[in-house]
A and B are shown apart, each in its own frame.
Chain A
Amino acid sequence: MKALVIAHAHPDFSVGGAEIAAYNLFRNLKGRSRYSESIFLARSDLTSQTHGSIMLRRPGEYLWRQNIGDWFRLRTENPMAVIGVFREFLKRERPDIAFVHHYAHIGVEILREIKQTLPDCVLILTLHEYAAICNSQGQMVKAKSKKLCYRESLEDCSNCFPERTPQDFWLRKHYIQKHFEYADAFVSPSDFLRQRYIDWGVPAEHIVVIENGQPSRSRPNAAPPGVRTRTRFGFFGQITEYKGVEILLQAIHLIATEIRTKMIVDIHGANLESQAPAFQDLIETLRKPLILEGVLRWVGPYEQTELAQRMEKVDWVVVPSVWWENSPMVIQEAFVNGKPVICAGIGGMAEKVRDGVDGLHFEVRNPLDLAEILVRAAVEPGLLQKLKANIRQPLTFEQCADSYLELIA
């Protein structure tokens, strides 16, 4: 058996959750004798590569220079490369199974192409966010008001994008769904996301939940922390408008000064500099006095390999995202490292973190609510130990791959 894993990026160049999940699935399959011939095809935007071409990265791993030409219908920029280079690639490699981890930056046409060229190939599509459902960057957050969106409908979507009619949204949905029809099954990393896709029109029996895998390793056998002078909270991830860092900073401002002396928040995050100026200004205004005061430490970007080490230093991981999320990698990483998670109580976050069991929920976008939860986490005796004890080891890469293979069987 030969599997082809397709991702919208190669982890050599990009460290998003979806590409890491895809790559680890590939690596894990390749390690199994039955799937030793498996290959990985990642979309690339390397300017050194010709548009539309497929190029060897290393044995079994390929880069495909491709992009989306029409983000509205998720149509490829280079359709001739789909029916040309990609078709040739499929004919040469003839995989028995294709695991497609994303169509973002590639286009949904690959789904049809795979089944048209290789009708016997089993096609599994893993859904990583709401791109097919939602034109608002796949976030299911209203385009202008930034309110959370609970359901798509042609009329609601047109209200979000007044320049597009409900008919346009029908065409969008029709185009995407017609291509989704070529998938034999869908995988969703969270039940929440699965339900959204069922509401949108994917038949329930076609879509299963398989959590993204995590590296299998025993918890670092670090020495137990010495005397803690402050409770340590950590934020890990991108600093964008959707990740809620500003909510976290506002929450710290709302905590009484004497309690603030009992805690510290570390921000491990990248890409603030590429955000909108207004957002950068907001963050700057909020963080400056806190840094001076010593309750906030702005640590900055980290390499994936540094994560475990950095996480080890904190007591709690905070995930204050202002959108639904799907299955944020940081939650799995926190659990791998034995850290309870404080998160917004919606969507994929609320599903992955059990409130009062292995973490705490606060009301999404509510700094005061978060402030009270942080205070509770900082001062309630025994809480941290209790929640730590309840943490379940996340799915390993290997277990994840097993689940994918069970689908085929």
Chain B
Amino acid sequence: MTVHSAEARPVSPVIRRTGEGEVTGLSVDRIVVDVDFLALSGWAVGGQDLTFTVPNARVSMIPSLTFFTRDDVAAGYGISSDQVKGFLAVWRDRPRGDMRVRLNVRAGQPLEIVLLSHEGSSITELMEFLRENSSRARFLFEGLVHNSAAIMALVNHLEVPPPAFNRAKGHIEHARGVEGVGGLLIGWTVGEPDVRFHLVDERGALVALDDAARWTRHDIVEAMSKEYGDYAFNAGFLQSWSGALSIGGRIRLIASVEDASYALAETRWTPAPLDPVSFARWSFELPTPRESFAERLARHDGPIIDALIERKTSRRRRTAPTIHDYGRKTERPTCAVVVPLFGRHDFMVNQLLAFSDDPDFVSAVDLVYVIDDHRLVSALASDAPVYEATFGVPFRTVWSGENRGYAGATNLGVANSSAPYVLLLNSDVIPVASGWLEKMRSTLAAHPEIGVLGARLYHPNGAIQHDGMGFEWDPTLKVYLNKHPGSGLPATPSRDKIVKREAVTGACALMRRDVYEAIGGLDEKYLIGDFEDSDLCLKIREKGLEIACLPLPVTLIHLERQSFSQIGASSFRDSVVRYNAWRHQARWGASISKLCAVEKQRTNAK
């Protein structure tokens, strides 16, 4: 028995009764066709399995299918309700051609309805269909996730949970985003493990919370564990939103249980900080487990911060930086010394006092202090001329008008300097002897295979602070970190001979200007500043050049800011390191693994 539909119209049910009063039947109540899906609803009585075939389709078209009871049909035909199976079938890719819906029967002919190929339902039909099936929202969410119009319509029919509903609870506490970039949603959910949570906005964009970063919130445990026991753990969620968003737009938290879905909570997008550091300051406070921080970054806030950095960099002022020359400009300098200043500038006093003792240094360098901090501009404007007059060391200050971070500031300084060599120098590296720069320069000049030459740096007590860097796999963070072999230990005898290293610190690094320019300088996309030096070294390696360190005697003291490296002293600083380590890993993980393997081979061969 076959019935053919006309267009996308429901067709009369096909009913067959046997002599023994046994009833079989098949009906398609509604057909909804949209550009990217096809959905059918209907019911079947008796029979065995339902099949859907499109004879001309190149691939088999198996729908997402769900069954449910249809008391209305049972009542209408006077049969018991366990004999009637309502069904809902959704195809994500719309099958083209006529479709046969067939109910196979144990003995005898199957019942069959042929749905003729048709082109699209009206919006009204779509809405009606979704309204009818809103109690099966969970099934439809999953089937129609790609169709935001359908999701949007579906969400509009969602109800708040009935008072007795206790299978899940949840709330959205923050929805903070940047239009055109993305946002983060923070909240909590509790419920049985088979409850599925989604976030959905008013445009119908839907994100499952399956991969949200989760953590245990003690307030939720306290409030909910009486009722939810263990399910109250790990309730906190952090979920990124990478699609479009508009500030003020609605976003809802949906819980789906079996067939039903309910809107648990609703909020509106509020603006997140546009500045990447401010954004990170907020988001890094959210206490997801430290051991999965890298994973969280990769899935959630990492790409947002990356995009915010990109956004900020692309919006930089185009105006020329403010440049002041103090003292007589060095004629034909051999080396530019570029020192970024952030936070404080009193290091300058010690540095200039030390430089003033080294006339060869003074006559050979183009000394550039890059002001990278609004707070220092005015202080330097009044102090710089006094410093020059007191110490007799000419220098230049460069201020771009904004804080650019270590890399941005250094690149700006290099761009506003002249000399065939470039020395990157931190303000907290203070020389205590003369002649070191010329020694470094002549060494680099003699080694064209070296791309960047670092220097051995010392702690104030004479122990080694830096003698070249290597990479070390951190199994908890799951990233490569920079290691400083020998740091804190007594110095081995210093030599004039260079030592090849995997990388060197940017606190004191000498390069030929053409090399610096060829690699595009320091990467400005790290947050605040970190890992740019090893990034720089890896870029130089890509160019086929090598990295080396000069083991100078106690000449350069590096007052490495211990407060920055002390774990716990600043959890934000620590998170920034983790962010940068994650970014560094994403970019260089494979190269470092290869480098470490080669290194290991070389060590084993010895």
Chain B CB count within 10 A is highest, among A82, A109, A178, for A178
Q: How far in angstroms is the closest Cβ of chain B from A164?
A: 11
By size class, the interface of chain A is: 10 to 19
Q: How far in angstroms is the closest Cβ of chain B from A157?
A: 12
- Residue of B349, B389, B390, B430 touching A73 (CB-CB under 8 A): B349
**Counting CB contacts under 8 A, is B423 at the interface?**
no
> Which residues of chain A are within 8 angstroms of B390 by Cβ–Cβ distance?
79, 82-83, 109
> Which residues of chain B are within 8 angstroms of A82 by Cβ–Cβ distance?
390
Could you tell me which residues of chain A, from 161 to 182, have a CB within 8 Å of some CB in chain B? 165-167, 170-171, 174-175, 178
B460→A170 contact, CB < 8 A: yes
Q: With A82-B390, A167-B428, A167-B562 in contact, do A175 and B460 touch (Cβ < 8 Å)?
A: no
Could you tell me which residues of chain B, from 454 to 490, have a CB within 8 Å of some CB in chain A? 460-461
A175→B563 contact, CB < 8 A: no
**Counting CB contacts under 8 A, is A154 at the interface?**
yes
**Counting CB contacts under 8 A, is B436 at the interface?**
no
Chain A CB count within 10 A is highest, among B349, B428, B557, for B349
CA distance A171 to B559 in the complex (A): 9
Q: With A167-B562, A170-B460, A170-B559 in contact, do A80 and B386 touch (Cβ < 8 Å)?
A: yes
Q: Chain A: interface secondary structure? A: helix
**Counting CB contacts under 8 A, is A339 at the interface?**
no
**Counting CB contacts under 8 A, is B354 at the interface?**
yes
Could you tell me which residues of chain A, from 146 to 200, have a CB within 8 Å of some CB in chain B? 154, 165-167, 170-171, 174-175, 178
- Residue of B349, B350, B430, B562 touching A166 (CB-CB under 8 A): B562
CA distance A15 to B521 in the complex (A): 61
> Which residues of chain B are within 8 angstroms of A79 by Cβ–Cβ distance?
386, 389-390
Q: Interface residues of B, CB < 8 Å — how many? A: 21
**Counting CB contacts under 8 A, is A260 at the interface?**
no
Q: With A166-B460, A167-B561, A167-B562 in contact, do A175 and B349 touch (Cβ < 8 Å)?
A: yes
Q: How far in angstroms is the closest Cβ of chain B from A51?
A: 14
Could you tell me which residues of chain A, from 349 to 406, have a CB within 8 Å of some CB in chain B? none
**Counting CB contacts under 8 A, is B353 at the interface?**
yes
> Which residues of chain B are within 8 angstroms of A171 by Cβ–Cβ distance?
346-347, 350, 430, 559
Q: What 0/1 pattern do residues 115 to 152 of A give for CB contact below 8 A with B?
A: 00000000000000000000000000000000000000
Q: How far in angstroms is the closest Cβ of chain B from A37?
A: 29
B349→A154 contact, CB < 8 A: no
CA distance A83 to B390 in the complex (A): 6
> Which residues of chain B are within 8 angstroms of A73 by Cβ–Cβ distance?
346, 349
B350→A165 contact, CB < 8 A: no
Q: What 0/1 pattern do residues 433 to 468 of B give for CB contact below 8 A with A?
A: 000000000000000000000000000110000000
> Which residues of chain A are within 8 angstroms of B430 by Cβ–Cβ distance?
171, 174
CA distance A80 to B390 in the complex (A): 8
**Counting CB contacts under 8 A, is A75 at the interface?**
yes
Q: How far in angstroms is the closest Cβ of chain A from B262?
A: 54
> Which residues of chain B are within 8 angstroms of A165 by Cβ–Cβ distance?
561-563
Q: How far in angstroms is the closest Cβ of chain B from A67?
A: 15
Q: With A171-B350, A174-B350 in contact, do A83 and B460 touch (Cβ < 8 Å)?
A: no
Q: What 0/1 pattern do residues 522 to 561 of B give for CB contact below 8 A with A?
A: 0000000000000000000000000000000000010111
B386→A170 contact, CB < 8 A: no
Could you tell me which residues of chain B, from 480 to 526, have a CB within 8 Å of some CB in chain A? none
CA distance A92 to B156 in the complex (A): 91
CA distance A317 to B216 in the complex (A): 72
> Which residues of chain B are within 8 angstroms of A154 by Cβ–Cβ distance?
460-461
Give 8 nearest A-B pairs by CB, closest first. A167-B559, A170-B460, A79-B386, A178-B353, A83-B389, A171-B350, A174-B350, A79-B390
**11 other contacts beyond A165-B562, A171-B347, A178-B353, with CB at 8 A cut-off?**
A73-B346, A80-B386, A83-B390, A165-B561, A165-B563, A167-B561, A170-B559, A174-B350, A174-B353, A175-B349, A175-B353
27 A-B residue pairs with CB within 8 Å: A73-B346, A73-B349, A75-B349, A79-B386, A79-B389, A79-B390, A80-B389, A82-B390, A83-B390, A109-B390, A165-B561, A165-B563, A166-B460, A167-B428, A167-B559, A167-B562, A170-B557, A170-B559, A171-B347, A171-B430, A171-B559, A174-B353, A174-B354, A174-B430, A174-B432, A178-B354, A178-B357
Using CB atoms and an 8 Å cutoff, list the residues of chain B in contact with chain A. Answer: 346-347, 349-350, 353-354, 357, 386, 389-390, 428, 430, 432, 460-461, 557, 559-563
